[in-house]
Amino acid sequence: MRLQDQVAIVTGAAAGIGRGIALAMAKEGAKLVVADWSEEGGRETVALVNNSGGKALFVKTDVSNPADINQMAQACLDEYGRIDILVNNAGIVRFAPFHETTEADWDAVININLKGVFLACKRVIPEMLKQGRGKIINMSSIAGQVGFENTGPYCASKGGVIAMTRALALEYAPHRINCNCIAPGIIKTAMTHDMLADPAQKQFLSSATPYPREGEPDDIAQATVYLASAESDFVNGHVLAVDGGWLAK
């Protein structure tokens, strides 16, 4: 198995893409910490992993809270003794015209989507330095590279994730710590449900995606497994678009 005996933390793993990543990594032999602020969803993910023969631990986590991040990492170390893989997947979106975006909504999106990545990397990298290796996969979006209306804070946060990923890749490559990010396109999750349920928006999104379907969480999960595995050891600072060809236009 591609991740046999590796230890991975996946944030935002209570549903959607994060749950798909956790299940795919467990299938490849990884032991997991499922981190999310949804206790119900997080424990459901853990049950799915454990019932399929894997091993997972749930830690209730607000990634914008340094104390929660420290608790998440410490729980992983206490349970498994190491941290080989960090997947910074937790994210939120707020929809509004930019001039109507509240400061509270700006802060909420930036704190989860960007500050949360900073806090988790800051806490986990010292453990990876001790081990002499590690894999960090950050979740960006095609919205970090092209503009979308009514999602200014989200676009800003995801662009920041890309820039941070590249900076970390350069800084820690000499220590055999890889940092890459994934830029999903339109993936069928709770976050995109309302957009895909609206006929006009669905038509726009479908016409903008050359491949003839929306993405599934497993599309992102398989890309994450690759970036977490030894197969990607010489891949560093890369933005992997999993978007059905959206950015190729």
Q: Where are the domains of the chain?
A: 7-248
Q: Which CATH number does the domain 7-248 belong to among 3.20.20.70, 3.40.50.300, 3.40.50.720, 1.10.150.670? A: 3.40.50.720
pLDDT, the chain, mean: 95
Q: Are 72 and 9 a contacting pair, CB within 8 Å?
A: yes
Which of 58, 15, 68, 55 has its CA nearest to residue 34?
A: 58
What mean pLDDT do residues 2-16 have?
Answer: 97
* CA-CA-CA-CA dihedral for 160, 228, 183, 53, to nearest 10: -120
Q: What is the pLDDT, as a whole number, of residue 202? A: 75
Q: Is the pLDDT of residue 198 over 80?
A: no
Distance (Å, whole) CA 88 – CA 241: 16
Average pLDDT in the 175-203 region? 84
Question: Are 143 and 189 spatial neighbours (Cβ–Cβ below 8 Å)?
Answer: no
Catalytic site residue 80? no
Catalytic residue among 154, 172, 211, 226: 154
Hey, is 65 helix, strand or coil? coil
Packed helices 39-51 and 16-27: angle between N→C axes, nearest 10 degrees: 20
pLDDT digits (tens, 9 = 90+) for 70-118: 999 999 999 999 999 999 999 999 999 999 999 999 999 999 999 999 9
Q: What is the pLDDT of residue 191?
A: 73
Pairing of strands 55-60, 85-88: unpaired
Q: What percent of the chain clears pLDDT 90, i.e. is strictly above it? A: 88
Question: How many residues appear in the chain?
Answer: 249
Q: Which residues pair with 8 in a beta bridge?
A: 32, 85
Reported as a pLDDT band with limits 50, 70 and 90, residue 188 is: confident
pLDDT at 172 over 80: yes
C-alpha span between 41 and 28 (Å, rounded): 22
Per-residue pLDDT for 194 more than 90?
Answer: no
State the pLDDT at residue 189.
Answer: 77
Query: 3-class SS at 7?
Result: strand
Residue whose entry in the numeric block shows the structure tokens 């590279």: 145
Q: What is the reported pLDDT for 196?
A: 67
